Structure 1
Amino acid sequence: MFGSSPPFYTFNPQSEPADTQAILQAQFGDAITLDNRAEGGSASTLLNMMAGVDGGGAPFAQRIQSSKAQIVLDAHAVNDDLSQSLGPYSDALVAWVQAVRVAGKIAVLEEPGPVCDNSRPYLANYVSAMDNIAAQYSVPLVKQYDYLQTIPNLCSHYTAGIFPDNAIFQIKAQREAAILAPLTRQLIQQPE
């Protein structure tokens, strides 16, 4: 979600959130903005974000209280597979959903795309945990993992096996916007 490009952890301004914003602005106007608060690097895990040690500031439950966002999307899983077991990840994902809702915002989860470097052998398990929590808590879900695996020569679109190119960012953005657009429309149509 950060939009990393080689050299590693360098922010790419053409990223999935930037592409999603362009799609939503084309539908709803320039007032729609996406604020990409993703942190890059291996410290960017869900547990670290919840604890406030991911480089983004205070613990997440505090951060989200002061956020002006109406919809909050989380896409953690790739680095989590490197950093902790599935149980703590699942517990943190439930805590994330609850924190977003306590703050009066709409929670959305997004599956990661697959990786092509064999360094995350259990990523499919994290995706499954996310899908189960989304279903259990009625959280809108952007399904990316299985779909992206159907793209011919997918790994040719990745650098170092984990950094997608702009073509993959655009595909992911279209799928993300398809979930966010109805939520955005509902918010726009709600009386103040």
Structure 2
Amino acid sequence: MRLRVLTPLTRGLRGAAGVLLIATVCGRANADAPAAPGGQALRAGPTAQVVIEAYGDSTTLGISCSEGHCSPRPQNAVTYLQDALRTTYGERVSVINFGVGGTMAYQLRDGTDRGRSVPWTQRLAASDAQIVTINYGINEVMHNQTPEQFYEAETALVKAALALGKEPVLQTSNPMPDGRLNARLAAMVAMTRRVAAEQHVPLVDQYAYISGLPDWQAMMSDGAHPRPELYRLKAGQDLRVVDPLVRRLLAGSS
């Protein structure tokens, strides 16, 4: 569940509209990126290279299911986002997929996400990334985390990133076809929105965007994981938020 694949993407992504996770359950996006909060992030001058690190669960990793078999696919939102950015900026931009299936936000915070087993603050301190995306929520539902626990974990992730000069971009989870689970997920989504508002960081509201799409359930491969076409839409929403941040970092560095 740790596979990280970066493959070429067609040019058709830019302008597409926007969709997150768990291996066990096999809205209209607020994609307006606010200015960097209080100068805490992206304060440095122009840079020649932008590194984006994508953290999250199996919907970040890029799992899709077919005929009862679920596995990471190269056609995932992180891959699509990188190729869309490289269409404009070339090799100056890299997006690295650190999604880990079956994990939750508190595990990333504590370094128990089966990734590098290093607490979040230490991991970011050693990272060259200027931008980090954070995508959790579905596993919190499946493992009976409370919204308050999720709020505390995401707040800690964002505050640590800001303190280290990174730009965190929060993403809400895609909705789940099961109505009961989706209602519980909505409470987690509300926490992600709350953290973004309180910490003044960019938000990609995939839950709202996808919930507003006609027959979005047909673009799900199972009870939690999108099909490639929905991952492509998710990347389109990510692009609307991330592109201005990348452009700001690269300004004057040609």
Q: Same fold (TM over 0.5)?
A: yes
**Distance in 2 separating the partners of 1:95 and 1:164:** 28
**Distance in 1 separating the partners of 2:247 and 2:191:** 29
1:72-117 Cα offsets, whole Å, 9 max, x none, are 0101111112221111110111100111112211111011110113
1:78 match: 138
**Distance in 2 separating the partners of 1:149 and 1:93:** 22
| 1:93-108 mapped onto 2 (5 Å cutoff) | 93-108=154-169
Alignment of 1:112 with 2:146, yes or no, is no
Contact 1:86 1:126 in 2 (8 A): yes
Following TM superposition, where does structure 1 have runs of at least 4 consecutive aligned residues deviating by more than 6 angstroms? none
1:176 match: 238
1:22 match: 83
| CA shift for structure 1 position 120 | 4.6
1:131-164 Cα offsets, whole Å, 9 max, x none, are 1110111000112111111222111111222111
SS of the residue 1:116 aligns to: coil
Partner letter of residue 86 of structure 2?
A: Q
SS of the residue 1:35 aligns to: strand
1:66 match: 126
| CA shift for structure 1 position 190 | 6.2
| Unmatched runs of 5 consecutive residues or more in structure 2 | 1-59
Partner letter of residue 135 of structure 1?
A: A
2:228 match: 166
Contact 2:64 2:228 in 1 (8 A): no
TM-score, normalised to structure 1, is 0.93
| CA shift for structure 1 position 31 | 1.8
2:191 to 125, 129, 149: 129
2:106 match: 47
Partner letter of residue 119 of structure 2?
A: P
1:145 match: 207
Contact 1:157 1:165 in 2 (8 A): yes
Contact 1:82 1:120 in 2 (8 A): no
Seq. identity, %: 29
Partner letter of residue 95 of structure 2?
A: L
| Unmatched runs of 5 consecutive residues or more in structure 1 | none
TM-score, normalised to structure 2, is 0.71
Partner letter of residue 36 of structure 1?
A: N
**Distance in 1 separating the partners of 2:223 and 2:141:** 15
Partner letter of residue 103 of structure 1?
A: L
SS of the residue 1:94 aligns to: helix
2:51 match: none
Contact 1:117 1:162 in 2 (8 A): no
SS of the residue 2:223 aligns to: coil
Contact 1:71 1:107 in 2 (8 A): yes
The verdict on how the C-alpha distance between 1:154 and 1:135 changes in structure 2, with shifts beyond 3 A counting, is same
Alignment of 1:2 with 2:61, yes or no, is yes
